[in-house]
Chains A and B, each alone.
Chain A
Amino acid sequence: MSYDRCVRCGSCLKICPIFDAMGEEQYSPRGKTYLLQIMDQIEQDPEAAKEFRRLLFMCTMCGRCKETCSSDVDLLAIWHEQRGKSIREHPDEFAYLKPLQEALENVQNIYGLDPEDRAMFWLDELEDEIPGLADKVYEPGKKAEVMVFIGCLMSFRSSQLDVLRALLTTLWKSGTDYLVMGAEEFCCGHPLYLIGNDEGAIELRKHNKAVIEDAGAKKVITCCPGCLIQLKQYHDLGDIEALHHTQFFDMMYDELPTYKAEKPFAYHDPCELHRILEIKKEPRSLMDKMHVDYRDIEPTCCGGGGLLRITDPNLSDIIIQMRAASQHLKDTTVLTCCPSCREQLLSNELKTRDIIELVSEIIEEVGE
Chain B
Amino acid sequence: MKIRDYVIGANASMYYRLNFKKIKGVYYPKSEQELIDIVKIAREKGYGVTPKGGGSGLSGACTGGDRERIMVSSLRMNRVLTISKDQKYVDVQPGATPDEINAMLEPMGMKFWVAPSSRDIATVGGILSTDGGGNDTWRNGTMRDNTLRVRMVLYDGSILTVDWSGVKCENKKIEKALNSKGMTVHDVAGSHGTLGFITEIRVRINPIPKHTLSGGVAHYDDLNELGDVLAKMINEKCSIWYGEAIAEAHPDVRGDMKPPLLILEVPEENTCDLKGITGYKPISKEKLQQYKDTRIKLPKRNPNEGMQVALFEGYGFHGTSLRKMQDCVNEINDLLRSHDLEPFAKYGHGPSKWYLGDNSPAYGIVLHSREIRPPEKSGPEVFEAVKDIVALCKKLGVTPKPEHKWPFSDEVKNARLSEIRQALGEGFNEFLLDSKCYDVLASMV
Contact = CB atoms under 8 A, between A and B. Distances in A.
A38 B301 contact: no
11 contacts: A4-B307, A7-B308, A9-B299, A10-B12, A10-B118, A10-B120, A11-B120, A13-B54, A30-B10, A42-B6, A72-B301
A161 interface: no
B272 interface: no
B313 to A, nearest CB: 12
Interface stretch (A19-27, A103-111, A286-294): A19-27
B53 to A, nearest CB: 10
A51 B55 contact: no
A209 to B, nearest CB: 36
A106 B333 CA distance: 63
A38 B9 contact: yes
Contacts, number: 102
Nearest to A10: B121
B20 A41 contact: yes
Give 4 closest A-B pairs by Cβ, nearest first. A34-B10, A10-B121, A70-B300, A51-B3
B16 interface: yes
Contacts of A72: 301-302
A31 interface: yes
Interface residues of A, number: 31
A38 B17 contact: yes
Contacts of A202: none
Contacts of A70: 296-297, 300-301
B121 A9 contact: yes
Contacts of B28: 23-24
Interface in A217-272: none
B137 interface: no
B16 A37 contact: yes
A77 to B, nearest CB: 16
Interface string B299-315: 11110000110100000
A8 B73 contact: no
A45 B2 CA distance: 9
A311 B55 CA distance: 29
Interface in B360-396: none
Contacts of A9: 12, 56, 118, 121, 299-300
A83 B17 CA distance: 24
A51 B10 contact: no
A108 to B, nearest CB: 36
B11 A8 contact: yes
Contacts of A45: 1, 6
Interface of B: 1-4, 6-12, 16-17, 20, 28, 54-56, 73, 75-76, 97, 99-100, 118, 120-122, 296-297, 299-302, 307-308, 310
B300 A25 contact: no
A26 B3 contact: yes
A48 B26 CA distance: 15
B302 A5 contact: yes
Contacts of B76: 23
A37 B11 CA distance: 12
Contacts of B20: 41
A52 interface: yes
Contacts of A69: 300
Contact of B55 (A4, A8, A42): A8
Contact of B3 (A10, A30, A55, A71): A55
B40 to A, nearest CB: 21
B79 to A, nearest CB: 12
Contact of B1 (A4, A23, A48): A48
Contacts of B122: 10
Contacts of B118: 9-11
A295 to B, nearest CB: 15
A87 interface: no
Nearest to A51: B3
Contacts of B308: 7
Interface string A328-352: 0000000000000000000000000
A72 B122 CA distance: 20
B114 to A, nearest CB: 17
Interface string A87-103: 00000000000000000
Nearest to A68: B120
Contact of A10 (B8, B17, B54): B54
Contacts of B11: 8
A34 B7 contact: yes
B12 A8 contact: yes
Contacts of B3: 26, 35, 42, 48, 51-52, 55
A23 B1 CA distance: 19
A222 to B, nearest CB: 35
A23 B34 CA distance: 16
A25 B2 CA distance: 12
A30 to B, nearest CB: 5
A14 interface: yes
A14 B7 contact: no
Given A23-B76, A34-B10, A70-B300, A13 B4 contact: no
Interface in A32-83: 34-35, 37-38, 41-42, 45, 47-48, 51-52, 55, 69-72
Contacts of B73: 24-25
A8 B10 CA distance: 7
Given A10-B54, A25-B8, A70-B296, A34 B301 contact: no
B292 to A, nearest CB: 12
B19 to A, nearest CB: 9
A31 B6 CA distance: 9
Contacts of B12: 7-10
A34 B18 CA distance: 12
A31 B9 CA distance: 9
Contact of B7 (A4, A23, A26): A26
Contacts of B10: 8, 10, 25, 30-31, 34
A3 to B, nearest CB: 11
A42 B2 CA distance: 10
A47 B6 CA distance: 12
B97 A14 contact: yes
A192 to B, nearest CB: 26
A23 B3 CA distance: 14
Contacts of B99: 14
B4 A25 contact: yes
Nearest to A53: B3
Contact of A71 (B2, B16, B120, B302): B302
